[in-house]
Amino acid sequence: MRKDDVTGALRIVSVIPTSPAEAAGILSDDSIVEVDGENITGLTQEEIISRVRGPAGTKVRLGIERLGVSGLMQIDVVRARVSIPSVETEMIDGVAYVRLNQFAANTTQELHEALVELTAQKPTGMILDLRGNPGGFLQTVVEVAGEFLPEGEVLTARSAGDEDVYQATAGGLAEELPLVVLVDQGSASASELLAGAIQDRARGVLVGTTTFGKGTVQTWRPLSNGGGVRITISRWYTPNDRSIEEVGLTPDVIVQWPASAITEDFDPQLQAALRVLRGEAVWPTWPLPLVADTFVPMR
């Protein structure tokens, strides 16, 4: 989520799979303007989050503004402990599909174990799904990049008077497989860095929509008056010296499709990725009126 500096609302960037928010019907791009009937647009992001959180099993009512819906929606969310699977995999029509939901401390090991099983099945290519991935640990994304990229630069972090270049190590399990990366507006921070490195080094094709645009590292400092200030301490750059801050990454193949319309049986972005791997024609912008029964069955 991200605080909207203009409206003061808390905008949902991506919804965690199997979370209480998803169960309640909250969607990406929704904006929270009320918590338990109180307008929160004048509060800081941290204050809003503290009011949304609470003991598992209790309920919070969120006042939601949604594009295309008139008036304020009132959605009750039952709080619960959120457990996020880092890695999800399957084989689709001979192609290895890997979804990364986050870059957590255990993601590197989970991914390596998953790739061992997938590559043993001799896939013809691989789809790396980073849609809705909000990021995570810097060290994790560098380690994950080593599974897909040959040895070389992943990203550069620059701060005042300092620069650190992060390198992928050789010997990854998926370095040579034809690769397509799925991204959308919910792909942020570390997921953008991985996708940007793959794009800059011509390792794979990016399919989807423009990413979120989070290319800074920030720290929060409280003030004596009860307020606070958020300070940018460094910026991240891709191997071609691109900053993703506020602009994101533009995919090589743009497939406009809202995350809320994607289902297990209807995913045009995934279908476009399969077409790329098969060497079939993919339009620069995929037309929206698609016929669902022409798709490859999934899951």
Assess whether 149 and 285 both reside in one domain. Answer: yes
Domain's final residue, options 57, 78, 99: 78
Domain's final residue, options 78, 99, 123: 78
Dig out the tokens for 183 from the structure: 């991204």
- Structural domains in the chain (count): 2
Q: What DSSP state is assigned to residue 42?
A: T
Catalytic residue among 14, 86, 187, 189: 189
CA distance 121 to 90: 11
Confidence of residue 224 (pLDDT cuts 50, 70, 90): confident
Assess whether 137 and 249 both reside in one domain. Answer: yes
pLDDT, position 292: 37
Range of the domain at 7: 2-78
Assess whether 186 and 113 both reside in one domain. Answer: yes
Catalytic residue among 86, 191, 214, 267: 214
Query: pLDDT by residue (tens digit) across 111-141?
Result: 999 999 999 999 999 999 999 898 999 999 9
Q: In what order do the strands lie in the sheet with 228-237?
A: 162-168, 152-159, 228-237, 216-222
The candidate with the shortest Cα–Cα distance to 240, out of 231, 249, 232, 230, is: 249
3-class SS of residue 114: helix
Identify whether 149 is part of a domain.
yes
pLDDT, position 225: 85
DSSP line for 206-275: EEES------EEEEEEE-TTS-EEEEEEEEEE-TT--B-TTT----SEE----GGG-BTTB-HHHHHHHH
Query: pLDDT by residue (tens digit) across 4-41?
Result: 888 999 999 778 878 899 999 999 889 999 999 999 99
- Rg value, the chain, Cα: 20
pLDDT, position 230: 76
Domain's final residue, options 78, 99, 132: 78
Question: Is 267 a residue of the active site?
Answer: no
Residue 205 belongs to a domain with what CATH number? Answer: 3.90.226.10
pLDDT, position 78: 96
Confidence of residue 227 (pLDDT cuts 50, 70, 90): confident
Confidence of residue 219 (pLDDT cuts 50, 70, 90): confident
Report the pLDDT averaged over residues 65-88: 91
Catalytic residue among 30, 129, 200, 267: 200
Report the pLDDT averaged over residues 131-159: 94
pLDDT, position 296: 42
pLDDT, position 282: 65
Does 295 score more than 60 pLDDT? no
Assess whether 27 and 115 both reside in one domain. Answer: no
Q: How many CA atoms lie within 13 A of 297 on its CB side?
A: 1
Report the pLDDT averaged over residues 201-215: 95
pLDDT: which is higher, 172 or 258: 172
Identify whether 299 is part of a domain.
no
Lowest mean pLDDT of 75-84, 135-144, 252-261, name the range. 252-261
- 138-148 vs 107-119: helix crossing angle, rounded to 10: 10
Residue 59 belongs to a domain with what CATH number? Answer: 2.30.42.10
Assess whether 94 and 15 both reside in one domain. Answer: no
Q: Are 259 and 290 in contact (CB under 8 A)?
A: no
Assess whether 62 and 175 both reside in one domain. Answer: no
Question: Is 3 a residue of the active site?
Answer: no
